[in-house]
Amino acid sequence: MIRKQMMGENCLKYILTGAFSAILLTGFAQEEEKQKDLKQQTNEQVGVGQPRVMDSIEVVRDYRPMLADAVKIRRSPDMKINRVALEDELREIAAGMYCTRNPYKEPYHSPLPERYPNASRDNIDNNRIGILAYRAGEFERATSILKKVKPNDAFYQSSIIAFGYMAMKGGDKLSARNAFYDASRMNYDQDLKADALYNYAKSLLDLDSVQNAVKPLKEYFAIKYAGVDLESKKAESTEDRMVQVLTGSSNFQAGVYLLESFNNRSEKENVIYQKITYYRGMEFYNERAFENSISMFMRSEKFPFDQEMAALAIYWKAEAMYEVRKYREAVDNFSKFLSLPVARNTNLYNYANYALAYAAFRIDRYSVAADYFERFLASKDGSMDDKIRYDVMARLGDSYLSMRNYGRANEYYDQLIASKAPNQDYALFQHGIIQGLRGDNDAKLNTLKAVVERFPGSNYADDVAFEIPYIAFVKGDYDTAIKGLQKMIEKYPRSSYVPRALMTIGLVQYNSDDNEAAMATFQKVVNEYSKTSEAAQAMLSIENIYLDQGDATGYIQYAVGNNITELSVSEQDNLAFQAGRTLFSRGQYGPAVEAVNAYFDKFPKPRQEKHARYIRGVSLYHTGHPDEALHDLNIILNDWTSPYTENTLLTVAALYLKLKEYNEAIVHLKKLEINADYKKNYGFAIKNLMICYFEIGDYAQVAKYAALIKSYDQATEEEIATAHLYSAKALQKEGKTESATKELNLAALKSKSAASAEARYRVAQLQYDSKQYDKAQKSAFDVIENMDAQDYWVAKSFILVADTYARKGDTLQAKSTLKSVIENYEGDDDIIPTAKARLQKLK
């Protein structure tokens, strides 16, 4: 019997159609996974975060401990330091570093004559000749000449500096110091005075008088930077910072930068560096410049000369990381601090347990949080503040609640209630939540009512006002639920529960088929609470309403035209793009193209251009516009960093195969073949390269790729059958019938795929061509009886059977077979025209 529609006009059509479908499915996988992720949010089992399922939509009721109320009590660093002593120490170190790394200032003659042309001629000449002798290394001659220079002018001051320099060179440090001191007291020339001050400071350091060197060096910089506003300078040099440190006009920051400007610091210098980076880090911390404080503490801990200070640097670094929400790094650093033996000597050791627990709590590591909270409570610290103790009890209850250890959670909540702690209302509220999680909604209802009765001013009154009607919702009493939720919204319009209440109301309306009311409620959530997770859920619900009604255009207009002021440009971009992505994932390709076009119109520089082009390209293919599809897809291929490059290569290759542009297809298939990152598509690439080379008549390449497929360890039976089939077809083209027949027989045995069916048919055709009509008829019936899933080749085989009847003189049976094909075959290809042509010849 003739089956339903076959796969196409030849085997190539089947292979390419099947392959392209697989490619598109691969391309869609990412989109489908995203949709599945959204659905999975509403398909979890009952427990913490359980959903309640309505008839046509699921409501997610995600419960977690109220982290907004979980605020770690912050401590400030102890800044009780002897700042004066530390600054003096820093100045001495800075002075030593500067003078050690810079040479003495040498005496000079020019440009003094230009500055003082009316000076004594003898002084000018003797100073000039003496300086020349000094520069020539003739110190005795220089000394005798310079002694002739008389006091009371700049040339005399220059000569005294020269005496000091020559004494220093001769090893007479005391005489050098005295000469520099004398010159520094003279005011004939300020530049010479500054040089003398510097040399005097440096000579004092050479005599190990570090403390005394600070004052002349300070005076030196005061002259050099007279009239300069250092604070207004944009680029600070080492000398700028030196002035700030020596004058005491800066915080520790200038000292840090000053020390960092010197390479190869000594141990003594690094000792002071550890201190000032630590204290500067504490200053930043108290100023709430936490990122800056982290940087300083990291610098300080690299030089652990003072081990306790190094440990404290780690601790405060962890605290700063907590403040900037780097909770994982905070956990690691608190843990490192607690592991240091020296940490036990500090007054922060036990508090580190509390801080570590809070950081772990923030990243949902509840077992770690519970462990360290309990360590904190177990300490013998009698000075523990009640506020902290009660906070820890609440967080322990929350930690165990999150681990579903409801018994342990209730133990801590009970302690808070028994202690009449300020947060006992919270503990009672959590009791109610646990009762609900255990399935006892009646007990939960009573407990929640007790919260507002016993604590009318409780901060959790709005929580209770939401939970009580939500219990009715869970029980299926939707009218009571909606009334209660609306009352809650009216009474607590600023509560964080309002968007959740609205979402619940909207879902009830949606489930009741009141789509107009549901749409209005969901849009209110999106427009007024756009930053909440409920807004995202509301958008999905709006999407469902539009698409369930078949109004894809309306959804596109809403998604692309929505201008929610609270949303950032990026968020608005994502909202507009979501329409195209959703329609694409649903297989609504025409609307998907429309949505992407609207997205590009609204955002000329879209943030998700590559993804949008991919969606539009594939959708255009599906809607019969391959040329337009290739335009979008080729743009993606110009950027090899795109996450859509591989799928796009697959799609473009398949499109060119569909268009029978085999040379273009080869270009893209070769990229898939040789790129190691695309290993999962290697089989697809080599199979279709074989097909392309056959179509362009390159039979040597056909043989090469057929061999690759046959030896590929991940090739399927169908792919191996295809390789044997195309080997046979190439051999037939080359006139090698015997070898071709062997390959066809191998292909026929490999599977029940289209390739195997074609191979069996071709064996029959070869037999027919050799006038072996009985064998040909038998082989054709083999296809008909054993390959019934391959309608096209079954129909081809019936036509071949008719041909054998005709050749054997049974025209009546030949006509009957051909009429049966014409009457029963449903495919739109070459089968019926061929059968009709054969029948016409028999008349």
pLDDT, tens digit, 9 for 90 and up, residues 774-786: 998 999 898 888 8
- 573-584 as b/e: b if 16+ CB within 10 A: bebbbbbbbbbb
pLDDT-based confidence at 354, cuts 50/70/90?
very high
pLDDT-based confidence at 677, cuts 50/70/90?
confident
At residue 291, the pLDDT reads 94
The answer to whether residue 55 scores a pLDDT higher than 50 is no
The answer to whether residue 257 scores a pLDDT higher than 90 is no
- DSSP classification of residue 345: G
At residue 235, the pLDDT reads 44
Alpha-carbon dihedral 514, 520, 521, 522, rounded to 10 degrees? 100
The answer to whether residue 680 scores a pLDDT higher than 80 is yes
- DSSP classification of residue 56: S
Pair of tokens at residue 591: 């609307």
The answer to whether residue 591 scores a pLDDT higher than 60 is yes
At residue 690, the pLDDT reads 94
Per-residue pLDDT averaged across 356-379, rounded? 93
pLDDT-based confidence at 550, cuts 50/70/90?
low
Q: Is 637 exposed, middle or buried (0-12, 13-18, 19+ CB in 10 A)?
A: middle
Q: Is 21 exposed, middle or buried (0-12, 13-18, 19+ CB in 10 A)?
A: exposed
Per-residue pLDDT averaged across 19-32, rounded? 36
Cβ atoms of residues 788 and 45 within 8 Å: no
Per-residue pLDDT averaged across 91-112, rounded? 85
CA-to-CA distance for 817 and 800, rounded, in angstroms? 10
Percent of the chain with pLDDT over 70: 86
Of 293 and 49, the structure prediction assigns the larger pLDDT to 293
Of 547 and 44, the structure prediction assigns the larger pLDDT to 547
pLDDT-based confidence at 97, cuts 50/70/90?
confident
The answer to whether residue 338 scores a pLDDT higher than 90 is yes
CA-to-CA distance for 154 and 220, rounded, in angstroms? 17
pLDDT-based confidence at 46, cuts 50/70/90?
very low
pTM of the model: 0.55
Q: Is 522 exposed, middle or buried (0-12, 13-18, 19+ CB in 10 A)?
A: buried
pLDDT-based confidence at 388, cuts 50/70/90?
confident
- Give the E-state strand segments of 269-361 in sequence order: none
Please give the mean pLDDT across all residues of the chain.
83
Cβ atoms of residues 519 and 545 within 8 Å: yes
What digits encode the pLDDT tens for the residues 116-160? 999 999 999 999 999 999 999 999 999 999 999 999 899 999 999
Return the SS3 of 51.
Answer: strand
CA-to-CA distance for 572 and 555, rounded, in angstroms? 15
CA-to-CA distance for 185 and 194, rounded, in angstroms? 10
pLDDT-based confidence at 248, cuts 50/70/90?
low
pLDDT-based confidence at 308, cuts 50/70/90?
very high
What digits encode the pLDDT tens for the residues 713-759? 898 888 999 999 999 999 989 999 899 899 888 888 867 788 899 88
The answer to whether residue 68 scores a pLDDT higher than 70 is no
Cβ atoms of residues 336 and 317 within 8 Å: no
Cβ atoms of residues 465 and 494 within 8 Å: no
Return the SS3 of 828.
Answer: coil
Q: Which helix (H) or strand (E) holds 287?
A: none
Of 252 and 388, the structure prediction assigns the larger pLDDT to 388
Nearest to 67, CA basis, from 458, 448, 333, 426: 426
- DSSP classification of residue 45: P
Question: Is domain 104-224 classified as CATH 1.25.40.10?
Answer: yes
pLDDT-based confidence at 518, cuts 50/70/90?
very high
At residue 255, the pLDDT reads 79
Per-residue pLDDT averaged across 317-335, rounded? 95
Nearest to 652, CA basis, from 679, 680, 688: 688
Class of domain 11-23+709-842: mainly alpha
The answer to whether residue 492 scores a pLDDT higher than 80 is yes
What digits encode the pLDDT tens for the residues 765-816? 998 999 998 998 999 898 888 888 889 999 999 999 999 999 998 899 989 9
